[in-house]
Chains A and B, each alone.
Chain A
Amino acid sequence: MFDAPLSALPAKPGVGYKPQHYSDISATPGPLGWLEVHAENYMGDGGRPIAQLRHLSEQFPISVHGVGLSIGGEGRLDPDHLARLKHLVGWLNPASFSEHLAWSTHDSHFLNDLLPLPYTAATVARVADHIDEVQEALGRQMLLENPSSYLAFAESDMSETDFLKAVVERTGCGLLLDVNNVFVSATNLGFTPQGYIDSFPLDKVGEIHLGGHDEDHDDHGAPLLIDSHGREVADPVWALLDYTLARSGPKPLLIEWDTDVPEWPVLAAEIARAAAALEMVPA
């Protein structure tokens, strides 16, 4: 059970780091207050990725965001992957470590996607055991991120927010609230995003994610939003952020852009918009 501060990230805008922006970030950071990296991209032995990360960590607080731990997996956590993560967190000593409420590995095969979980007591127990193992191995609290959902499980018998509260209660982990994921899931599964935020334990939130989504339609012509991280954050997601910040107070805000990554000025504009949203919030 970890009962530490939720994260050491500043309540400022951050951005998902892409190597093509290495020089821009140092030259024109603007209101940028921190950087997030995907843990798996820095699990090589050396070379440019590690050298760049070491250099950036001297200028900015770093958030390490894992995409490959498969915390919701039915099988045990991969001990080799956990050891690599421990090594990275050990030398980098990042301001925060976060992972996803999802699974991605089955029978030792990594599927490279964040796959969904049924919300049941059995899943709470499994996820909590895995988070305990991670927090024990890393010697620090982690943040768990709410997923974007495209479908639901007939077997689910609790809401996502009740599920997250139960996991937090069992493990002492913090939460990473992705408001784009909330908007995507709410649209896809037909609940109100504000209602989700109202029932979310905002006092446990150590970081907020913002990203772009694509629009599609399901078998019945209903809107189906895809969490693509390949464009600007949508206006209703910015509105949901304002709604959230008005209730949570200022939080570290991350702009995520992972596919069709644009030139730095496009990201800088998103960072400026996040900074403006934070300025509206009474501290």
Chain B
Amino acid sequence: MIVTQSEFTAGILDPNRPAPDGLQDGAGAPTTKRFDVYRNNVAVSLTDALVSAFPVIHKLVGDEFFRAMAGVYLRTHLPDTALMMFYGDKMPKFLRRFGPAQSLPYLPDVAQLEIAMRASYHAADAAPVSTDALGQIAPDALMAATLKLAPSVQIVQSSHPIYSLWQANMVAGAPKPTKQAENVLITRPQFDPAQHLISDADTLFLTALQEGHALGVALSKAGPGFDLGAVLGLLLRQGALTEIS
């Protein structure tokens, strides 16, 4: 009686299946509860990984809902690497289709923000340019310059108040969110990712920089009313610019 790893895996993921034949206790008797230890370990450890990954979603929906939802997610989206710190990258798409979550339409974008925070935390280190680096470029060369953003920089756009929702759940005393669209820039001055609420124009500008466009191009994409000085100042203070060329 050979138990293949396919059978073992199928048994683990489906609690309604009997334990595979060929597994036994020390005396050779068949056993279900012993197999349940593995079922439990897999489900609980993956659920706990998702709780760590999505603390705001966990708070927003509550522990019971989150764990039930995680049980569905993990059975349809098993990790494809052993790097648990990145598990859950399909959560926004999953939440968009998950029936019981439809009454909270902002959940997918909040999940995207949490994924971006995690990506920023683990991103590669990169030395920032000095805060006066832009001043050293000749004014007529400035518009053709390319500004490289740090690997830890993330931009998340939403038609929901994702910044306010995150703050309200993670920062003591933060105000209650009001219904509005919010975009977030994430920087990582040293080790801790920081969030900044940014406008649509800021978002267009920063996305253009991230795509490798020259400053002048990014500026034209941002459109009228864009405060270039404010955004560049923020990037420089946050150590988010790593190269000007």
Q: Which residues of A contact B (CB under 8 A)?
A: 40-41, 43-51, 67-70, 73-74, 78, 80-81, 84, 103-113, 115-116, 118, 150-155, 188-191, 217-220, 222, 224, 226
Contacts and interface: CB of A to CB of B under 8 A. Distances in A.
Contact of B82 (A46, A81, A190): A81
B131 interface: no
Interface string B14-31: 000000001111111101
Given A68-B82, A110-B82, 19 more contacts: A40-B82, A40-B85, A44-B85, A44-B122, A45-B151, A46-B152, A48-B192, A104-B82, A105-B82, A106-B5, A107-B6, A151-B35, A152-B25, A153-B24, A188-B25, A188-B34, A190-B27, A218-B31, A222-B25
Give the one of B3, B25, B80, B191 with max A CB within 10 A.
B25
Contacts, number: 145
B237 to A, nearest CB: 19
A115 B81 contact: no
Contacts of A47: 121-123, 125, 152, 188, 191
Nearest to A112: B45
B25 A111 contact: no
B189 to A, nearest CB: 12
Interface size class of chain B, counting residues whose CB lies under 8 Å from the partner chain: 35 or more
Interface of B is mostly: loop
6 contacts: A44-B85, A46-B123, A47-B125, A84-B83, A151-B31, A218-B33
B9 A106 contact: yes
Contacts of B121: 44, 47-48
Given A115-B38, A118-B3, A190-B26, A49 B79 contact: no
A47 B6 CA distance: 37
B24 A152 contact: yes
A154 B38 contact: no
A46 B25 contact: no
A118 B5 CA distance: 11
A41 to B, nearest CB: 7
B220 interface: no
Contacts of B32: 219
Q: Which 6 A-B pairs have the closest CB atoms?
A: A68-B82, A44-B122, A189-B26, A190-B26, A109-B78, A45-B124
B125 A46 contact: yes
Nearest to B21: A154
B85 A111 contact: no
Nearest to B48: A259
B2 interface: yes
Contacts of B192: 48
Contacts of B33: 217-219, 224
A153 B45 contact: no
A261 to B, nearest CB: 13
A127 to B, nearest CB: 13
Nearest to B4: A74
A217 B34 CA distance: 9
Contact of A154 (B1, B4, B45, B79): B1
B41 interface: yes
* Residue among A74, A115, A151, A155 facing the most chain B CB atoms (10 A cut-off): A151
B41 to A, nearest CB: 4
B34 A150 contact: yes
Contacts of B34: 150-151, 188, 218-219, 224
Contact of B5 (A40, A103, A113, A188): A103
Nearest to A66: B82
Contact of A226 (B5, B37, B81, B84): B37
